[in-house]
Structure 1
Amino acid sequence: MISRSIITLFIFAALLGVAGCNDTSAQPPVASDQASEKSSDHAADESGAEHQGEREADSSDHDDHDAEQAPDRVHLTSAQRNRLDIKVGKAKSGSATAVITAPATVRFDSDRVARIGPRLNAKVLEVTSDVGTRVEAGDTVAILDSVALGKAKASYLTAAARYGTQLAAYQRNKKLAEDKIISEATLLESRANYSQARAEREAARAELKLYGMSPSAIQDISTSNGTPLSRYPLTTPMTGVVQQRDLVPGQSVGANDTPVHVVDTSRMWVMIEADEQSLPRLRTGLSVELHVRPLPDQTFTGTVDWISSELDPQSRTVRVRATVDNPDGLLKSGMFGTAQIRTQSERQFALVPIDAVQSIGERDIVFVPGDEAGAFRAIPVVLGDEGGGQVEVRQGLSSGDAVVTSGSFDLASVLTAGGRSAAHGH
């Protein structure tokens, strides 16, 4: 019995040892599971880092795209440049309130207009200069025939001949009187005849001058080589262009007729209708800029040289005259336009056309050219007063800076469209 108990006790102890061994061997699997979990977490971390890198790379790509579509830059393609009318000019210096804007009309400078006609009755033989012909001072514009001029030339020739005869007689008698060959009375009579002949010749010469003949032309009468004395060349007293020609061969014209007009269009008058409130700021010598409807891209400059002393009773405007240079003849009499008279002002700012300024959001911007063709940059500006189609730029732009003066609305449209495209790209 004892032996069985001992044997049973040994068996029970052996079983406990086996169980203990089994429990100890179960621990590594648990550790293995934890390592597996850590490995999984590490892999997840690496995967997350890779995704983060991809997101950062993707963000970098978008940043590059945003840089191309920068919110203050526009780059036009060649097709866009051809389609859009973009003009660049320089910002002027001045004050918008110092500009007087008024309607204006172009006129010929009256001091540069010659209305030509005969100074006696005549008949037209030939017209040598048609309308549009440029003539120089002294050129013949028509050839006339005048009976009265023929008679005046004949009288001059007679007077000149008698003068020559009496001059010779007086010189001869003067010598004879010195030699006591003739009496003093004869000498006095000869001198009287000579003086009368000289007076008659001078009177005939003066009459021909009144008819427009030059001293050289009068001198050449006696050597006309068969040219009729009645022949009358009508000449222009100034250089210019024939503006009017109311002459045809066979036509009779009188002393009061001026059928040919010659004008010098290198300088024109601009008649400006300024409002009466502008009178305190008006004076002669002020600079004027003229824009006319048929030539919207041209600017003509001039100077105020006259201010009327009375107001128009109906319109309550004062007439102001300016002389404007017109070397290329682009200005035509009768053109309507707008004149800007620049008065003096102590305040000086950069001035741009009102249409050059665009509003994007809460910002006022103007466009300036970039470093290459088709590139433009929007810059924010602080605006001042407006006047005469101009606006003051008090901050953001300086006078003389290049700025887009026409087409800024199109650039703003391209800019905002590019911004929306960039936003949708995300």
Structure 2
Amino acid sequence: MNGSKACCPSGQERALSARRSRRFPKIIMSMLKTVLLLILSSFLIGCHSSTEKPAEAQGPRVEGDQIILPEGSPQIGSLSVAPVELCKGAMIHLNGRLVWNDDTTVRVFTPFAGRVTQIIADVGLAVKSHETLAMVASPDFGQAQADARRAESDFRLVDRTLTRVRELYEHGAAPKKDLEAAEADFGRAQSEKTRTAQRLSLYGGSADSIDQACPLKSPLDGVVVEKSINPGQEVRPDQMLANAPHLFAPLFVVSDPSKLWIWLDATEHDLQYLKVGQSIAVHSYAFHDRVFNGTIDVISDYLDATTRTVKARGSVDNSARLLKAEMYVTVDLSLDSKPRLEVSSKAIFLKGNQHYVFVEQARGQYVRRPVTLANEDHDTVHIVEGLAAGQRVVTDGCLLLEALMQAGSKS
């Protein structure tokens, strides 16, 4: 009995086995649903990624000299465009330096070696022609005074001798050769007297006294604008030949400050716009609200080998005496009245020997075009050929477009 009970399942066991049999199909169905959901999700994800990949693959497209950026491209937001404008009265700007007008300027050196005993003129003093600026005690000048005094004495002696010989010859008491010799001596004495007197007069002295006091005089009317002389200073006429600025500097500079010269540095490109007699407008950093008028007087015939510029000289009206010599200024030269196209200088880039700009045809579409420049005016450039008024050019980001175009042409 015990063996038969062990081999036959009880009622509880049969009920448990039946419940397990009924639960197994449910588990299988649940697992199948999960697998199906996973497959469906993978399929949907794959479809979504496959639809997004082409959008991610879109980028700048290059077609010849045209570059096309897709809508929404981040590069479009970094670009700035501006229209090409038509301007009148184009100008060029040159750098210049103001100097004394040499036609109204004299640099005074001492004609004799000596010591400065008195300084009469100072900087800013208006002087007249032949007015004394300083006094120099000079033995050489004293020698010139002595030579003039001696020549005058010799002339008086020879004059008396000639008068006496002429009287004797008229009475037959002297031969003709003595008269001729006396006349020759008179001519030589007269020439020497004139020479020494003129030499002394040239330096502002006279033979009335031998005081060795050489006056330094101004040769023309003007204003003392520079002074490089001190009391007791030893001066020599050969100082101007010394190779030292503190030695060959003039003792005085007398000029007319109301008339200045200006030296301009023009490039080879600007040379075509320079003409003798052309009006110029001079601007100084010290007087922003003032414009000083002038004209171009001389244009150099050679090019400076170091700076590769052409020197041009002009004259400037400085009646108010606001401008100072050795000032650096800027000069505006008006070109012809022909209208010119104008763009920002940031829109121009150089590739090889050619200048280019990018013209916007539509949003995201840009065409690279070669242009010919006329001249640059501060932050703008005048265009001769390659653009038309009203076209829109890229001002910020043209180098980015060029890099994208280069990268697109290689791919």
The alignment's TM-score, normalised by the length of structure 1, stands at 0.54
Deviation, 1:294, is 0.3
Checking the alignment, whether the CA contact within 8 Å between 2:130 and 2:219 is kept in structure 1 is yes
Deviations 1:296-337 (A, max 9, x none): 111111111122233345554322221111112111112222
CA distance in 1, matches of 2:107, 2:200: 20
Q: Residue 356 of structure 2 corresponds to which residue in structure 1?
A: none
User: Is 1:320 equivalent to 2:302 in the alignment?
Assistant: no
Checking the alignment, whether the CA contact within 8 Å between 1:96 and 1:386 is kept in structure 2 is no
Select between 187-196 and 309-318 the one with higher mean Cα deviation: 309-318
User: Is 1:247 equivalent to 2:229 in the alignment?
Assistant: yes
Q: Residue 258 of structure 2 corresponds to which residue in structure 1?
A: 266
CA distance in 2, matches of 1:313, 1:105: 19
User: Is 1:152 equivalent to 2:134 in the alignment?
Assistant: no
User: Is 1:282 equivalent to 2:271 in the alignment?
Assistant: no
CA distance in 2, matches of 1:338, 1:270: 10
Q: Residue 85 of structure 1 corresponds to which residue in structure 2?
A: none
Deviation, 1:133, is 1.6
Provide closer, same or farther for how the CA distance between residues 308 and 185 of structure 1 changes in structure 2, counting only shifts above 3 A.
closer
Deviation, 1:192, is 3.0
Q: 2:101 aligns with which of 94, 99, 109?
A: 109
Q: Can you give the 5+ residue segments of structure 1 that lack an aligned partner in the other structure? A: 1-93, 350-384, 392-426
Show the 5 A alignment for 1:134-213: 134-208=126-200, 212-213=202-203
Show the 5 A alignment for 1:33-52: none
Q: Residue 219 of structure 2 corresponds to which residue in structure 1?
A: 237
More helix by share: 1
Provide closer, same or farther for how the CA distance between residues 192 and 322 of structure 1 changes in structure 2, counting only shifts above 3 A.
closer
CA distance in 2, matches of 1:321, 1:252: 37
Q: Residue 380 of structure 1 corresponds to which residue in structure 2?
A: none
Provide closer, same or farther for how the CA distance between residues 275 and 231 of structure 1 changes in structure 2, counting only shifts above 3 A.
same
Deviation, 1:274, is 2.4
CA distance in 2, matches of 1:185, 1:276: 75
Q: Residue 89 of structure 2 corresponds to which residue in structure 1?
A: 96
CA distance in 1, matches of 2:273, 2:160: 72
Q: What is the percent sequence identity of the aligned residues?
A: 26
Provide closer, same or farther for how the CA distance between residues 283 and 177 of structure 1 changes in structure 2, counting only shifts above 3 A.
same
CA distance in 1, matches of 2:305, 2:213: 52
Q: Residue 56 of structure 2 corresponds to which residue in structure 1?
A: none
Deviation, 1:244, is 2.2
Show the 5 A alignment for 1:209-224: 212-214=202-204, 217-218=205-206, 221-222=207-208, 224=209
User: Is 1:309 equivalent to 2:301 in the alignment?
Assistant: yes
CA distance in 2, matches of 1:265, 1:207: 31
CA distance in 1, matches of 2:285, 2:112: 44
CA distance in 1, matches of 2:308, 2:145: 57
CA distance in 2, matches of 1:319, 1:386: 19
Q: Residue 358 of structure 1 corresponds to which residue in structure 2?
A: none
The residue identity in structure 2 corresponding to 1:197 is A
Show the 5 A alignment for 1:380-419: 388=377
Deviations 1:82-122 (A, max 9, x none): xxxxxxxxxxxx9422x221222222223332111211111
Deviation, 1:386, is 11
Deviation, 1:126, is 0.4
Q: 1:298 aligns with which of 290, 294, 317?
A: 290
The residue identity in structure 1 corresponding to 2:287 is L
Q: Residue 330 of structure 2 corresponds to which residue in structure 1?
A: 338
CA distance in 2, matches of 1:130, 1:151: 29
CA distance in 2, matches of 1:213, 1:386: 54
Q: Can you give the 5+ residue segments of structure 2 that lack an aligned partner in the other structure? A: 1-86, 240-249, 341-373, 381-411
The residue identity in structure 1 corresponding to 2:162 is Y
CA distance in 1, matches of 2:308, 2:332: 19
The residue identity in structure 1 corresponding to 2:268 is E
CA distance in 2, matches of 1:207, 1:230: 14
Deviations 1:172-194 (A, max 9, x none): 32233223233323323322332
Q: Residue 7 of structure 1 corresponds to which residue in structure 2?
A: none
Deviations 1:2-53 (A, max 9, x none): xxxxxxxxxxxxxxxxxxxxxxxxxxxxxxxxxxxxxxxxxxxxxxxxxxxx
SS of 2:265's equivalent in the other structure is strand
The residue identity in structure 1 corresponding to 2:104 is R
CA distance in 1, matches of 2:306, 2:199: 49
Q: Residue 82 of structure 1 corresponds to which residue in structure 2?
A: none
User: Is 1:123 equivalent to 2:115 in the alignment?
Assistant: yes
The alignment's TM-score, normalised by the length of structure 2, stands at 0.56
CA distance in 1, matches of 2:126, 2:138: 26
Deviation, 1:153, is 0.9
Provide closer, same or farther for how the CA distance between residues 386 and 276 of structure 1 changes in structure 2, counting only shifts above 3 A.
closer
Aligned Cα RMSD in Å? 2.8
CA distance in 2, matches of 1:115, 1:190: 45
SS of 2:110's equivalent in the other structure is coil
Checking the alignment, whether the CA contact within 8 Å between 1:103 and 1:337 is kept in structure 2 is yes
Checking the alignment, whether the CA contact within 8 Å between 2:89 and 2:338 is kept in structure 1 is no
Checking the alignment, whether the CA contact within 8 Å between 1:123 and 1:146 is kept in structure 2 is yes
> Number of matched residues?
251
Checking the alignment, whether the CA contact within 8 Å between 1:272 and 1:320 is kept in structure 2 is yes
